[in-house]
Amino acid sequence: MTRYKVQALLTLDPPGRHGSALLPLGQTRRTVVRGQHHQTHCSQFFSALATNNGEGSPWIDDDHVIVTIVFYGDDPREYLDIGDSFSLLLGDDTCRGVVSRRLFV
């Protein structure tokens, strides 16, 4: 298994309902990430930790947040590499995200 760490932009669903309260600033939440294989298009679920580090920009509103996600998996880059879309499950809520960069650990 490989440890993989990425930074991503999340769109919190539904917009305006919870806002950034789903991932409070500076807190880490256990979550599940669902990515899609680049070639087979099959879905894979990864257990993950998501952290809102507050690395936002003025253009980011309450319905978007930049997070760091750490997860383990076999060949995780086949599912979640730079530019790939994914779903992040936070309890009853689902967020959509795009990997913006890979962080080396």
- Per-residue pLDDT tens over the stretch 9-43: 988 765 555 555 667 778 888 999 999 999 998 99
Domain membership of residue 104 (yes or no) is no
CATH of the domain at 48: 2.40.30
Long-range pairs for 52-61 at CB < 8 Å and ≥24 separation?
Answer: 52/20, 52/23, 52/24, 52/25, 52/26, 52/27, 53/25, 53/26, 54/25, 54/26, 55/7, 60/9
* Under 8 Å between Cβ of 51 and 66: no
Domain membership of residue 69 (yes or no) is yes
Q: How many distinct structural domains can be found in the chain?
A: 1
Over residues 45-93, the pLDDT tens digits come to 999 999 987 765 555 666 788 889 999 888 888 899 999 999 998 777 7
Domain membership of residue 64 (yes or no) is yes
Q: For residue 66, what pLDDT is reported? A: 86
Domain membership of residue 17 (yes or no) is yes
Domain membership of residue 105 (yes or no) is no
Please state, in angstroms and as integers, the Cα–Cα distance from residue 24 to each residue in 53, 60, 83, 101, following that order.
Answer: 9, 15, 24, 21
Domain membership of residue 103 (yes or no) is no
Quote the CA–CA distance of 28 and 80 in Å, as a whole number. 20
Domain membership of residue 88 (yes or no) is yes
* Dihedral of alpha carbons 76, 46, 73, 51, sign: positive
Domain membership of residue 25 (yes or no) is yes
Question: What is the reported pTM?
Answer: 0.81
Beta bridge partners of 19: none
Q: Domain residues for 26? A: 2-98
